[in-house]
Structure 1
Amino acid sequence: MAIPVETFFLAPEAEGTLQAQIQQMIAQGILSGRFRKGEKLPSSRKLAAHLGVSRITVTLALTELQANDYLEARDRSGYYVSENAPEPPAFIAPTPRADTIDWSRALGRRFTGGDTPEKPQDWARYPYPFIYGQTDPALFDHTNWRHCALRALGQKDFQALTADYYDQDDPELIEFIARHTLPRRGILAQPSEILVTMGAQNALWLTAQVLLTQRRTAVIENPCYHALRDILTQSRCHLTPVDVDRDGLPPDALPDQADVIFTTPSHQAPTNATMPRARREALLAKAADMGALIVEDDYEFEVSFLRAPLPALKSLDTEGRVIYVGSFSKSIFPGLRLGYLVGSKAFIRECRALRASVLRHPPGHIQRTAAYFLSLGHYDSLVRRMGQVFSRRRKVMEEALAAHGLDVAGRGVFGGSSIWMEGPAHIDMGQLDARLRKRGVLVEPGAPFFHGKRRPRNFYRLAYSSIPSERIAPGITLLARELADCPE
């Protein structure tokens, strides 16, 4: 790879001869890691013209660097960073020379300080990764995804790959969602009522921005998806948490007045509770009485391997009161970042305009690849395979948990990919998590899911989506031992 000539410049305050300055400039580039071994430098003619110095000055500098083993000359090819050049440390971009801005006053709003926890990027190297939301490489259909991606790169799909949709989406993906995905949830929608998003979290953000103001009130489940709570906190609306029970969000516990109710009726996050049909109808009636909208995050409905899921809450809606959030990121792979919003035309129109002002639209190639993966049946095959494997893993995990007497706080009625656990009251799972990692065990502490300052610290989530069946029991054994060793 050639190093662009534009990356070379002489500092105005540099001292010494021009030859020495050029030597120092190139040596610093190598020592900082910006210039890597084997990379080709610009020709002496180009470098001299760019720097505004004589070619002989550049040539003398390069020759001296070659003598010191920073560079090597290749016959009729030019100069390259030597394979024997000093080994640079891990590259860290240099900090600005001065930052005199008072950022505590300059920042108009703050978005840091939320509850989204940090998960290890190298989770796959842990022997017992009970980690939620990652792709199991043993299950992912990489071959067919690659074929679909190559097809989307073909000449036939040139427009889908290269076009600026502005505020629109790939019509083939929209058609599949409207004709196949939504009817399975009992939902009928027109293309103008569907918007593709960068995953469910982006869909929730768009919804909050369009519906909520500082004067409006949003209801959230407690515990709930922590990123949703961060989104609503940033919107500066009034936030009312409502404790969930074994059947999810109880309508009788809702406040007398609210503007938007956020709920996960099919598979509550993180407790896995499923809202019965009678409660869904009661929730719709309650929302109608107070004039509130409902945002339904249809979380993990695809992973229903025990029995078919209930129809979506939106399928029971006859007033346009429910806004539906779906995602392909959890069922295909999280890095896909592809979800969708379904709602009344007036609502989708505003979300579409907001999305266009922020990111226009999700990349066309990703949308068309997903459309092929879905329409050719690969997605259904993947979901079936995941369901079969998850069913076996869940059985192994339940047996291991029962053998060690660990308390299950919630498990999916229809399936899912995790189990919500409750440890002894004196246990702080955040602290125990650090000890478990040293033993090769990854769990997800539950405190970030709860609202308020006095959050229970003894809950945690165990996922079986990314751990092979044969490692589950040994991992649960290590977990049980660490729990037992915690002093009261």
Structure 2
Amino acid sequence: MALPVETFFLHPDAQGTLQQQIQQMIAQGILTGRFGTGEKLPSTRSLARHLGISRITVTIAYTELLANDYLTSKGRSGYYVSENAPAPPQFSPAADTPDAVDWTRAIGQRFSGGVTPVKPQNWGKYRYPFIYGQADPTLFDHANWRLCALQALGQRDFTTLTTDYYDQDDPKLIEFIARHSLPRRGISARPEQILITLGAQNALWLTAQVLLTQRRRAALEDPCYPALRDILTQSRCHVSPVQVDHEGLIPDAIPDDTDVIFTTPSHQCPTTATMPMQRRRALLERARALDALIVEDDYEFEMSFLKSPSPSLKSLDQDGRVIYVGSFSKSLFPGLRLGYLVGSEPFIREARALRASVLRHPPGHIQRTAAYFLSLGHYDALVRRMSNALHGRRTVMEDAIKANDLQIAGRGAYGGSSFWMQAPDHVRTEDLAVRLRAKSVLIEPGAPFFNGNAPPQNYYRLAYSSIPSTQIAAGIAHIAQEIHDMG
């Protein structure tokens, strides 16, 4: 029996090339049992005409399915569902019945319920996306990343692609970080002192698990990176929020019984304050007096387009008490999920063992692709292009903010990719965000960044990493108008 061509259609929201969409459409039909063994598919000519695409595209898709045993070819008769195609499941889905388990009692420790900001998955469809941390497709070097990925898939790198490193990492990536990334921050480290992580957040989790217990105390910036607050809460340690000012974390406000200090000195999250050299030295002295460790999250140091970045805390550390967290999420793209930890060898040894027990190591192919992209100079070129673009957008946004009489609460002295904003006291930015979304404007309400049960409600963050310069002024005008209307 021949399958009618009318049963085939391309979904308007489907991902991938046309060839891939056709393969997926037919494979799903077979796997779900809609297309039975021996049934004849439409000819390449008729399917191409029906879908309005090239016949060669359909032919290539059929050929791939033929190679994977989904289809079989019978001379000039055409293509049929293969006898060897994967068989659909021979059972009916079970009815959705209530669990007999009392999960409120069965769950021993809860990890949900945090207030980490949530970004819409379809943020790119908004006209004015002032959201932080997303990759701008107009700036990213797709072509060279693709070439590096193909190179990493080659025969020469077969071992890197397929080997279980257990607790080790790609030596090429480690070498680049040690010889290129860290020296830019004034840091010298041996391979034994570097660990690749699944982004900065994974690095912070590993650090908290290794260093903190229920009897130890962590000092946390206020406002702060919300995901870090969730990590510390889950570790069940004592947490002391420490207020920040226009220069970042205040050393003298750190409690005397603190064991670990978490800080973002290059661009304080979320206020973007840059910690000056004098305060960096004061923070190191305070940690030394407390015999405490410092965890330095040095995110966005590459985006210091206004001035050269200040030396990292790790580079000023003479005691080995600073643990350094780096990431490629902001400078490459967040979906890459590659970061790294740098610290004394005893600490890295424990973090490495913990990582191995949870996820072994980040995928070898991803590590090798990143290593090629970095070592071939594409990364430096990308950072320069991004810095120039962000510098231009920052200037446009500052002018627009000034023209619309909006109030900046914090701006980085060295660059970055966002402004920390303060609305009038009567404006609740959660409500402001809802009103703006209806006008295709995305902002980030500030309440989730603060500690405590009664956070300020009138702060918000505006990022310029994902919005073109041509859209900034109009977007800022919409924000100013909504704030005026709420007054």
Structure 1 residue matching 2:233: 3-state secondary structure = helix
Contact 2:148–2:373 under 8 Å retained in 1:
yes
Aligned residues of 1:268 and 1:299 also touching (Cα < 8 A): no
Distance 1:253 1:317 in 2: 20
Say whether residues 1:318 and 2:318 are aligned partners.
yes
CA distance in 2, matches of 1:297, 1:325: 5
Cα distance in 2 between the residues matched to 1:346 and 1:444:
39
Q: Which runs of 5+ in 2 are unaligned?
A: 1-24, 40-73, 83-92
Task: Supply the distance in 1 between the matched residues of 2:352 and 2:155 (Cα, whole angstroms).
Answer: 28
1: CA distance between counterparts of 2:78 and 2:310? 71
Name the structure 1 match of 2:245: 245
Give the aligned residue type for 1:165.
Y
1:139 corresponds to 2:139? yes
User: 1:117 and 2:112 equivalent?
Assistant: no
TM-superposed deviation, 1:119: 0.9
The residue type paired with residue 212 of structure 1 is: L
Counterpart of 2:439? Answer: 439
- The answer on whether the counterparts of 1:40 and 1:78 sit within 8 Å (CA) in structure 2 is no
Match in the other structure for 2:477? 477
Name the CA distance, whole Å, in 1 between partners of 2:79 and 2:384.
Answer: 56
Amino acid in structure 2 at the alignment position of 1:335: G
The amino acid of 1:325's aligned partner reads V
Deviation sequence 1:288-341 (CA, Å, 0-9, x none):
111100000002100011110001000000111000000001110000000000
Q: Does 1:285 align with 2:285?
A: yes
Deviation by residue 1:153-173 (Cα, 9 ceiling, x = unmatched): 011111111110000000000
**CA RMSD after TM alignment:** 1.9
**Distance in 1 between residues matched to 2:96 and 2:210, nearest whole Å:** 38
Q: Deviations over 1:73-117 (max 9, x none)?
A: x9786679xxxxxxxxxxxx9764341100001001000100112
1:108 aligns to 2:103 (yes or no): no
Q: How does 1:335-484 map to 2 (within 5 A)?
A: 335-484=335-484
SS at match of 1:200: helix
Q: What is the aligned partner in structure 2 of residue 40 from structure 1?
A: 35
Distance 1:42 1:34, change over 3 A: closer
Output the amino acid matched with 2:102: D
Q: Normalization by structure 2: what TM-score? A: 0.83
* Matched residue, 2:233: 233
Task: Return the letter of the residue paired with 1:476.
Answer: I
Aligned to 1:209: 209
Using the alignment, how far apart are the partners of 1:296 and 1:95 within structure 2? 51
Shift of residue 41 of structure 1?
Answer: 2.8
The amino acid across from 1:247 in the alignment is E
Provide the residue aligned with 1:262 in structure 2.
262
Q: Could you tell me which residue of structure 2 aligns to residue 183 of structure 1?
A: 183
What is the distance in 2 between the residues matched to 1:157 and 1:95?
Answer: 47
Q: Quick check: 1:41–1:78 contact (8 Å CA) kept in 2?
A: no
Deviations 1:327-377 (A, max 9, x none): 001110000000000000000000000000000000000000000000001
CA drift at 1:40? 3.4
Contact 1:269–1:299 (CA<8 Å) still a contact in 2? Answer: no
1:42 CA drift (Å): 4.1
TM-score by length of 1: 0.82
Aligned residue in 2 for 1:486: 486
Structure 1, gaps ≥5 residues long: 1-29, 45-73, 81-92
Q: Separation in 1 of the partners of 2:153 and 2:247?
A: 46
Tell me how far 1:227 sits from its aligned partner. Answer: 0.2
- Could you say what secondary structure the match of 1:244 adopts? strand
User: Residues 312 and 94 from structure 1, CA distance in 2 versus in 1: closer, same or farther, beyond 3 angstroms?
Assistant: farther
1:4 counterpart residue number:
none
Alpha-carbon distance between aligned partners in 2 of 1:256 and 1:78, rounded to the nearest angstrom = 75
Quote the offset at 1:482 in angstroms. 0.2
Whether the 8 Å contact between 2:258 and 2:292 is mirrored in structure 1 is yes
> 1:34/1:438 Cα in 2 relative to 1: closer, same or farther (>3 Å)?
farther
Q: Which amino acid in 2 is paired with 1:430?
A: E
Tell me: CA distance 1:271–1:349, structure 2 relative to 1, closer, same or farther (3 Å).
same
Q: Does 1:195 align with 2:188?
A: no
Q: What are the within-5 Å matches in structure 2 for residues 322-333 of structure 1?
A: 322-333=322-333
Instruction: In structure 2, give the amino acid aligned to 1:273.
Output: A
Distance 1:294 1:37 in 2: 54
Amino acid at match of 2:237: C
Q: Distance in 2 between matches of 1:366 and 1:399?
A: 40
| Residue matched to 1:297 | 297
Q: Provide the C-alpha distance between the structure 1 equivalents of 2:226 and 2:293, rounded to a whole number of angstroms.
A: 21
**Structure 2 residue aligned with 1:21:** none
Letter in 1 for 2:324: Y
3-state secondary structure, aligned to 2:351: helix
Matched pairs, number: 415
Q: SS of the residue aligned with 1:480? A: helix
1:32-111 counterparts in 2 under 5 A? 40-42=35-37, 96-111=96-111
**Alpha-carbon distance in 2 for matches of 1:324, 1:370:** 20
Pair 1:151 & 2:146 matched: no
User: In the superposition, relative to structure 1, how do residues 405 and 36 fare at CA in structure 2: closer, same or farther (>3 Å)?
Assistant: farther
The sequence identity of aligned pairs, in percent, is 67
Instruction: Determine helix, strand or coil for the equivalent of 1:261.
Output: strand
Question: Deviations along 1:10-47, whole A, 9 cap, x unmatched?
Answer: xxxxxxxxxxxxxxxxxxxx9xx987899633469xxx
Distance 1:364 1:303 in 2: 27
Give the residue type in structure 2 aligned to 1:349.
Answer: R
**SS of residue matched to 2:245:** coil
User: SS at the partner of 2:262?
Assistant: strand
The aligned amino acid for 2:358 is: V
Match of 1:88 in 2: none
Distance in 1 of aligned mates of 2:153 and 2:366 = 10
Task: Compare CA radii of gyration and give the structure with the larger one.
Answer: 1
The 1:462–1:76 alpha-carbon spacing in structure 2 relative to 1, beyond 3 Å, is: closer
Amino acid at match of 1:288: R
Distance 2:421 2:471 in 1: 19
Any idea what SS the aligned residue of 2:462 has?
strand
